[in-house]
């Protein structure tokens, strides 16, 4: 892979360019991309031009650059993520029809949660900042806490040793002792329930999806209003649905994503 003048590969720089795009930054100028990535302006122009030529980026009539349809196409060829999402989708739809709240499917990627699917009920009553292909820090949300609780000890210790964990609200577990207790409680119950950790008005209940070895490979979550009765009412449906997805996944090994833990 050709390297830039500073020794960084072109692929690494292209990845950094793609990472600056997000919900609030869907269209950017080359100069803004250069500023955010700290790649020299001349190099940014050359790189963006090549990515536009390949269809990874698109340049609109306003001269601003956006993520290209070609990148979306290539991303959706990821057989593991897409296979798991397609297998679980009918079960998520059934769950949402029962709980009538946001329903999510997520996997762990490093120390972050990656959302493969999000279903929203008509007229949702709960704030939910997640989106398909979006991420949240694992310590902050029900999906992440569940996946982290069943992840290898070394990954848990890595997160626990982090000194600048993001606190979205006063209830986000960022102190090592508090987070360690949350993980222990999650392992004991087999589910994760967090209240007001991402938004004060929202709570979440997450249950594990397991492969044929018992390893937790995904989390199924519903986001509900932050009150005890609603949380308690949602938990049985979430657990039952996660078990149904587990059975379907175990009978269809080709859909298995990367392993999270045993």
Query: In this predicted model, what pLDDT tens digit does every residue of 41-100 receive, in sequence order?
Result: 999 999 999 999 998 999 988 889 998 888 877 776 666 677 888 899 999 999 998 888
d(CA 251, CA 246): 9
Q: What confidence score (pLDDT) does residue 234 get?
A: 92
Other CB atoms closer than 10 Å to residue 55's CB: what's the count?
A: 14
Report residue 163's pLDDT band, with 50, 70 and 90 as the boundaries: confident
d(CA 146, CA 156): 11
Least confident stretch, 30-44, 56-70, 112-126, 206-220: 112-126
- Fold agreement (10-74, 79-255): no
The arithmetic mean of pLDDT across residues 222-243, rounded, is 93
Report residue 257's pLDDT band, with 50, 70 and 90 as the boundaries: low
C-alpha of 72 from chain center: 17
d(CA 20, CA 160): 27
Q: What sections of the chain are H helices per DSSP?
A: 10-19, 30-37, 41-54, 69-75, 79-99, 142-149, 153-160, 176-189, 228-250
Give the start-to-end residue ranges of the domains of the chain. Answer: 10-74, 79-255
Q: State both tokens at 139.
A: 């310590």
The fold for domain 10-74 equals Arc Repressor Mutant, subunit A (1.10.10)
Quote the Cα angle for 195-198-200, to 5°. Answer: 60
Other CB atoms closer than 10 Å to residue 31's CB: what's the count?
A: 11
Quote the pTM value. Answer: 0.75
CB 70 within 8 A of CB 81: no
pLDDT digits (tens, 9 = 90+) for 182-199: 999 999 999 999 999 999
The fold for domain 79-255 equals Beta-Lactamase (3.30.450)
CB 144 within 8 A of CB 172: no
Q: State yes or no: pLDDT of 24 exceeds 90.
A: no
Considering only residues 170 and 250, tell me which one the structure prediction assigns the higher pLDDT: 170
| CA atoms within a 13 Å half-sphere pointing along the CA-CB vector of 205 | 24
Q: Which residues contact 97 (CB under 8 A, 6 or more apart)?
A: none
Q: State yes or no: pLDDT of 1 exceeds 80.
A: no
Pairing of strands 65-67, 102-109: unpaired
């Amino acid at each position: 892979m050709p390297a830039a003048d500073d020794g960084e590969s072109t692929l690494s720089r292209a990845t950094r360019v793609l990472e600056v795009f997000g919900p609030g930054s869907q269209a950017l100028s080359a100069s803004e991309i250069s500023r955010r990535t700290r790649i020299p302006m001349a190099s940014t122009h050359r790189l963006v031009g090549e990515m536009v030529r390949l269809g990874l980026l698109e340049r609109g009539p306003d001269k601003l650059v956006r993520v290209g349809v070609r990148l979306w196409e290539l991303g959706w060829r990821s057989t593991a993520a897409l296979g798991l999402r397609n297998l679980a989708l009918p079960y998520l739809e059934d769950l949402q029809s029962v709980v009538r709240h946001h329903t999510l499917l997520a996997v762990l990627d490093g120390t972050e949660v990656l959302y493969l699917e999000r279903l929203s009920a008509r007229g949702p009553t709960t704030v939910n900042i997640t989106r398909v292909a979006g991420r949240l820090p694992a310590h902050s949300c029900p999906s992440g806490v569940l996946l982290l609780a069943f992840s290898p000890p070394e990954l848990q210790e890595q997160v626990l040793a982090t000194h600048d964990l993001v606190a979205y609200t006063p209830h986000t577990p960022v102190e090592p002792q508090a987070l360690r207790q949350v993980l222990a409680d999650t392992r004991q119950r087999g589910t994760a329930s967090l209240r007001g950790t991402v938004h004060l008005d929202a709570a979440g209940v997450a249950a594990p999806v397991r492969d044929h070895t018992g390893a937790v490979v995904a989390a199924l979550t519903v986001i509900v209003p932050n009150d005890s009765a609603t949380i308690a009412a949602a938990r049985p449906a979430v657990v039952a649905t996660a078990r149904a997805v587990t059975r379907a996944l175990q009978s269809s090994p080709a859909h298995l994503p990367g392993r999270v833990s045993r």
